[in-house]
Amino acid sequence: MVIEEGENPFLGDFYAGRPGAAFQTQLFFTLARHRQQTSLRQSDLFSQVTVCDYLFERDKIYAYLNLDDNELFIYQRLYELLAQDLSAPDLVIYLQTPTDPLRRRLRERARANPDLPSPNEEYVRELNEAYNHFFFHYTATPLLVVETSQFDVTWGSDALDDLVKQLRGMGKGTRYYVPRTK
């Protein structure tokens, strides 16, 4: 299981709107993700299944949303070099949620963790639209799009079994899945 490293020393400055912080934040995340992904190649020899909570390619979503043209030029050059080192996943799962539930979840997270920086609501909308656009056009690997606004893991094993059934049934292309609600 690979979980994205969340500690980025530039993130607070980025959310505060400090000039240059978007570029620093982006490079830090890009290099950290690349380091994690290249370390996976070595462990792939010993494990059959690896689950990662992010797709390296989605790094570009943030870059295009947050960087100015000069920063984006440098970023694209670096990204192209780094992406050559990485293998494509066998399957990508996009957990899709409309903007309003995302905003609600972020407000709940902020109340539970007041020390965590949080993006403004307009940025959340723009980011969500960018994710939807990216995955609508994504064709590099099989893609399972799971609409999560009504999904709750507390529903028990039936809901998770149904999701696993969707995963096992994946072939090529894109499949959209809306979990049953209780």
* Mean pLDDT across 149-164: 76
CA dihedral 28, 10, 95, 48 (to 10 degrees): 40
Confidence of residue 155 (pLDDT cuts 50, 70, 90): low
**What is the rounded average pLDDT of the residues 154-175?**
83
DSSP 60-84: HHHHHHH--HHHHHHHHHHHHHHHT
Q: What is the pLDDT of residues 107-124, one digit of tens each?
A: 888 888 887 777 788 989
- On the 0-12 / 13-18 / 19+ scale of CB atoms within 10 A, 77 is exposed
Which residue has better confidence, 26 or 179?
Answer: 26
Within 10 A of 93 (CB to CB), how many other CB atoms are there?
19
pTM equals 0.84
What are the pLDDT digits (tens) for 55-109?
999 999 999 999 999 999 999 999 999 999 888 888 999 999 999 988 888 888 8
Task: Measure the CA–CA gap between 138 and 134, rounded to whole angstroms.
Answer: 6
In angstroms, the CA 50 to CA 45 distance is 11
Interatomic CA distance for residues 59 and 34, integer angstroms: 10
Q: What is the pLDDT of residue 16?
A: 87
